[in-house]
Amino acid sequence: MKDFFKDVYQTLFRFARFPCEPETVAIGNPDKSSPVLVTCNFDYTVRHLKKYLEKERIDCFLLAVNTEGTNVWCAAAEGIFTAEKILAHIKVYGVGELVDHTRLILPQLSVAGVKRKALKEHGWEGIYGPVYFTDLKEFLDAGLTKTKDMQALEYGYLERFKMGLSHAVFCSLVCAIPILVFASGHWMEAVLLIWYFALCMQLVEHFIPFARLLYKGLALALPILILALTSIADPVLKTQAAVGIIALGAYIGYDAQGHSHLGQNQRSGKIFGGIFAFLVFVYGGTLWL
């Protein structure tokens, strides 16, 4: 039950760091020929990986390298999960004395940060394993050979939903003060709008025919915008509501770039800045009126 609540909390606040102690731990009854698996010290990953290895009775050594509690993909992209970090961990924990081989099984999603050439220069062979640790047993049984399925990164609706929950919590925290300042009388509607945008940006954005995530956020604002414009009679309040809806759609679409490997290469800062400046000008006009 404790692990369940931990999973829920760490899913909702996935954007935060959740470190566990860096360690080198023996799983099962490994010997000097047993595989050496490398991961980061993100608590969620380590807990679930250990459970999997124990359940499948895989005898191995597990290295939880210090990435300050950041998950593998993000840590590799940020440059804090690197060959140098792994080599330092190996030295501190005397990993070379535990095995009679030099093979390290690395997470495939660490490829952006962990360079095998740097490991090789220090006598270690880095082998990128499958994307998902649930394929480790098959990978090891096949002599460290990956199938195409093991290399495929899936992003199904369950994972999209989890990411949407985390994004909604993050955006709610970011927008809390602006909501209290500009829409305190409609804070519940504003929070519901944030959750609508955040969940839709994960669950249905791939059906929206725009490449840029910022534009997808604006497209998601259209049905809410139409509803607001047709249901609010006061012209000033109608304009303010429209400004708020467009601002939330633009912001959450723009922020979603950090949750997508495709969006990370998009450069929408100037576009977002221009939209936001225009919305501030319009809102300022409603105050003057």
Among 39, 62, 20, 17, residue whose Cα is nearest residue 114:
39
- 8 Å CB contact between 167 and 259: yes
- Total domains in the fold of the chain: 2
Residues 135 and 265 in one domain: no
Cβ pair 268, 257 in contact under 8 A: yes
Q: Among all chains, which residue has been given the structure tokens 């195409």?
A: 148
Same-domain check for residues 140 and 60: yes
Same domain for 136 and 203, yes or no, is no
- The reply to whether 27 and 139 lie within a common domain is yes
Write down the pTM of the prediction.
Answer: 0.82
Residues 136 and 246 in one domain: no
Task: State the chain's mean pLDDT as an integer.
Answer: 91
Is the predicted pLDDT of residue 261 greater than 70, yes or no? no
Structure tokens at 179: 């909501």
Question: Bigger pLDDT: 231 or 266?
Answer: 231
Same domain as 14, residue 126: yes
Domain that holds residue 99: 2-151
| φ and ψ at residue 258, rounded to 5 degrees | -75, -10
* 23, 116: one domain: yes
pLDDT at 267 over 80: no
pLDDT at residue number 174: 94
> Binning pLDDT at 50, 70 and 90, where does residue 113 land?
very high
